[in-house]
Chain A
């Protein structure tokens, strides 16, 4: 009989990761479309993305920090092991995080010549392309069950993640982020009353949706060898089939809604699809945090720590959720007015 607090903490962990992927992930995807901006409306595409990300990216980013904090407060041995064996890809990812965040704000607020700003824009979009791949590689390595408990030779620090499966998950993550961003952007463009721009992103969203489907097939095939636990979990456990079909339904619904220009519906379906993919992964490897030996039970902090962490998370949520909602309402409702007010903030 495990304490309620443990379930709660593990639940919040996966929910926080989900929200990070759905919000922060889309911010990265936005950077990808910034890089791929093309056609007669290239500048308008970039501006739309900048306006969409500007007010929210720092708040979206904190979900990642929350994931890290819950992991080391609630499951310290798992945190220590991941951070040790994944040192190299995490370091690379951090460089991406640093460059992307600072380049975005340098571009937004760095007065002055267009040339410097364009350069920062490039740094921002290239970092947005690479960071999600690294995040995916890390997730892939965790899922593969090959993270050694006591790495001591150099090989142990690269073999767990230098595999086709992990790179597959990396590319998959990038495709998902780009898909989310393009789908959200159709709504944003519709809200500012620019159907042509919405159509640009509609085409991108459909392309990304198809790419997500194809890459998902490839990753699943790679998982037979690359992550046997996941593969077994997906194919041999009763609960995973409903999730599989539900994901497929959401995916098809999103595609249909994009096709028929029901953008608001498409956004919900795409978000639902991505959340289900994540939960499918979580359920497939449940109760393992790290195969073969660390489960959410034996890696958990003592009960008293979990109780207090659960309380803190609940109290924090009471404070946080209304504020976060307020932020989204202020900036995501009535977007027409938002663009009229030129961001970056008026320079007087």
Chain B
């Protein structure tokens, strides 16, 4: 493993781990406060139980999110010191604003978790809302920083160094809007589907269980709205990328040849040596139509760029894109199916097949998120700052990264397994319908 590959792998692994917890950190507070709000409105104890159970699960996720995020903020310097020394003054801005969002989040999380009986119901719900809001805001700021790496603005290059730095301009860099919108929706879609899927699986075992029905309804509502919006937002992203980073879209599609009537590829394996995409189903002209609403529009293929600027490994970008889009359409279809059941059949729980599908689809959103980041990040290679600094120039001179990479991987593997085990226990400890009946009985007395 070369030095650079070790650094890239360690960064990718740390981010891939963190993003799971970040998604939960963005979306789970919303589910919690909806449940708590339903309780305050209806006085139905099941909702309160739900809010508290969700909060305990989320607290574990939050803690792991906080520590893995801390590792990342150091790793930017540990692995890419030249990048940070060069760009720190330009993109420090979103990171510092993010710092305050974290503060707000951690403060109100403490109040939410430990304050059930110490603050008024209103203040408690308000604290939950602050957590939900600051989670979204921290996600937005960090993604703005990432968008800047894709479309760097706010400085002039003189002799290889940045001058006339305008840190505020980084906040409105051209990729910021589509990336933040797409990522925020992704967090709701992914979290909503995981939670709904888990409760669907539990419901299949205990169908009268109100706890799982209510949980599923809330999580599915959030996940479904997001999943229906996501392909629309993704389409906007794709068109923005075609404009801002044309080589990236060629890599997504495995499009080697420049020309009009560019086909949309489904599946397939790019063969860099032969410069063609093998085994793909190609829809003629569709790519030109989707990108420019015109079949005659010329799409730039990889052949119009120097080969040492091609993202590598190309196959990772292409496959990840297929996985994300596939998962996106599958989730949107499920969302529509559920909406149809809820509206026209007036019973979301009317179809066992739907519940089975939902249980199976639980991980789809998280898979799409991971794949989406591979698309964005590997697609940006070989640049760390697109068109300005190559990743190879940014890497630390510190030798021996092939030691730290496996150490962090094992640490995260261990944490991941532990968290999964604790979550599984949480789920298994959820109340059965018999227990809920007993709870209701004590209520009445």
Binds B, one of A35-43, A97-105, A173-181, A249-257: A97-105
Binds A, one of B76-84, B265-273, B291-299, B377-385: B76-84
CA distance A326 to B67 in the complex (A): 24
Q: Which residue of B lies closest to A317 (CB)?
A: B100
Q: Let me know if A154 and B78 touch, CB within 8 A.
A: no
Q: Let me know if B111 and A327 touch, CB within 8 A.
A: yes
Q: Which residue of B lies closest to A102 (CB)?
A: B64
A346 to chain B, nearest CB (A): 7
CA distance A99 to B411 in the complex (A): 9
Q: Let me know if B165 and A90 touch, CB within 8 A.
A: no
Q: Which of A56, A87, A105 has a CB less than 8 Å from the CB of B60?
A: A105
Q: Let me know if A345 and B116 touch, CB within 8 A.
A: yes
B313 within 8 A of A: no
CB 8 Å contact bits of B91-115 with A (1 = contact, 0 = none): 0110111111011101111110111
Q: Which of A301, A304, A319 has a CB less than 8 Å from the CB of B104?
A: A319
A341 within 8 A of B: yes
A91 within 8 A of B: yes
Q: Let me know if B66 and A80 touch, CB within 8 A.
A: no
B86 within 8 A of A: yes
A79-B77, A83-B77, A308-B168 known; A327+B92 contact, CB < 8 A: no
Q: Let me know if B96 and A80 touch, CB within 8 A.
A: no
A79-B84, A112-B425 known; A343+B167 contact, CB < 8 A: no
Which applies to chain B's interface (DSSP): helix, strand, loop or mixed? helix
Q: Let me know if B96 and A98 touch, CB within 8 A.
A: no
B250 to chain A, nearest CB (A): 34
Q: Let me know if B96 and A304 touch, CB within 8 A.
A: no
Q: How many contacts A-B (CB < 8 Å)?
A: 232
B82 CB contacts on chain A under 8 angstroms? 80
CA distance A17 to B16 in the complex (A): 29
Q: Let me know if B100 and A320 touch, CB within 8 A.
A: yes
B70 within 8 A of A: yes
Q: Which of B84, B87, B92, B114 has a CB less than 8 Å from the CB of A309?
A: B92
Q: Which residue of A lies closest to B90 (CB)?
A: A305
Which applies to chain A's interface (DSSP): helix, strand, loop or mixed? helix
CA distance A68 to B78 in the complex (A): 12
Most interface-central of B73, B84, B93, B419 (chain A CB within 10 A): B84
Q: Let me know if B77 and A151 touch, CB within 8 A.
A: no
A304-348 at interface with B (beta carbon < 8 Å): 304-305, 308-309, 312-313, 316, 319-320, 323-324, 326-327, 330-331, 337-338, 341, 343-348
A111 CB contacts on chain B under 8 angstroms? 422, 425-426, 429
Q: Let me know if B111 and A326 touch, CB within 8 A.
A: yes
CA distance A151 to B115 in the complex (A): 50
CB 8 Å contact bits of B110-147 with A (1 = contact, 0 = none): 11011111110000000000000000000000000000
CB 8 Å contact bits of A78-122 with B (1 = contact, 0 = none): 011111100100110011011111101110111110000000000
A237 within 8 A of B: no
A279 within 8 A of B: no
A198 within 8 A of B: no
Q: Which of A95, A97, A312 has a CB less than 8 Å from the CB of B93?
A: A312
CA distance A74 to B89 in the complex (A): 7
**Which size bracket describes the interface of A in this complex?**
35 or more
Q: Let me know if A73 and B111 touch, CB within 8 A.
A: no
A286 within 8 A of B: no
CA distance A100 to B90 in the complex (A): 33
A109 CB contacts on chain B under 8 angstroms? 56, 59-60, 422
CA distance A152 to B69 in the complex (A): 29
CA distance A308 to B111 in the complex (A): 31
A157-B398, A330-B111 provided; 20 other pairs, C-beta below 8 A? A55-B110, A61-B106, A62-B99, A65-B69, A66-B103, A68-B77, A76-B87, A80-B88, A83-B77, A95-B407, A97-B70, A98-B67, A101-B63, A101-B64, A109-B56, A109-B60, A304-B166, A305-B92, A326-B107, A345-B114
Which positions in A face B, CB cutoff 8 Å?
54-56, 58-59, 61-62, 64-66, 68-70, 72-74, 76-77, 79-84, 87, 90-91, 94-95, 97-102, 104-106, 108-112, 150-152, 154, 157, 301-302, 304-305, 308-309, 312-313, 316, 319-320, 323-324, 326-327, 330-331, 337-338, 341, 343-348
The 5 closest A-B pairs by CB, nearest first: A73-B92, A83-B77, A76-B88, A80-B85, A105-B63
A/B interface sample: 21 pairs, CB < 8 A: A55-B114, A59-B103, A65-B102, A66-B96, A66-B103, A90-B74, A91-B404, A94-B70, A97-B70, A98-B68, A101-B63, A105-B60, A105-B63, A112-B425, A309-B167, A312-B93, A316-B103, A323-B108, A327-B111, A331-B114, A345-B114
